[in-house]
Structure 1
Amino acid sequence: MHGRVYGADHGDPGPRAGRAYAQLVGGPLDGLLLDVTEARDPGAGVALPTEIGRYGPGGRSVYAPRPTDARRFDWQGDIP
């Protein structure tokens, strides 16, 4: 899997060997990879802090695993 990892350092944004990733689909974080290696509940959604969503700084974008492909998390909307 290639791409930039959500929350990674800008100097080393790529995925790392031995880690599991899901691709974020839609919304402000579209195309980024989310490290799900240590996810407590791999079927649960996540609310990711982002400044580029609807609510700006302090807001979060919500993503949930796609029912037919857990390697893709679809955007559900933004929350404050």
Structure 2
Amino acid sequence: MDSDDEQLLRGRVYGQDYDRPGPRAGQRYVELVGGPLDGLLLDVTDRTPDELGPGVALATELGRFGAGGRALYAPRPGDPRRFDWVGDAP
């Protein structure tokens, strides 16, 4: 991924269509920091703290394993609005 790809992803919501890329009012988001999804927002509106506690595995073609791979993100200690990249999984 080059800098143009990174700039394109910033401010977008993971899983949203390109025609509606930004956050929506009334939703709750966390920022993904580092890794292949750096800068994307993740909608956590319908997720409980127990579901988010260990982190999330998000499908992406941009990670180490390419198509079918997942990027792993965990809540940042002391800042629940940010999830840090912890690695990739097949």
Same fold per superposition (TM over 0.5): yes
Corresponding residue of 2:5 = none
C-alpha distance in structure 2 between counterparts of 1:24 and 1:36, whole Å: 12
Over the aligned positions, Cα root-mean-square deviation in angstroms equals: 1.2
Corresponding residue of 1:63 = 73
Alignment of 1:43-54 (within 5 A): 43-54=53-64
C-alpha distance in structure 2 between counterparts of 1:3 and 1:39, whole Å: 21
Deviation at 1:43, TM superposition (A): 2.2
- Per the normalisation by structure 2, the TM-score is 0.84
Unaligned runs of 5+ in 1: none
Q: Does 1:34 align with 2:64?
A: no
C-alpha distance in structure 1 between counterparts of 2:54 and 2:29, whole Å: 14
Amino acid at match of 2:28: A
| Percent of aligned positions that are identical | 70
- Per the normalisation by structure 1, the TM-score is 0.94
Query: CA offsets, 1:1-52, max 9 Å, x none?
Result: x810000000011000000000000000000000011113232300000001
Q: How many pairs are equivalent?
A: 79
Unaligned runs of 5+ in 2: 1-9
Query: CA offsets, 1:37-70, max 9 Å, x none?
Result: 1113232300000001000000000000001100
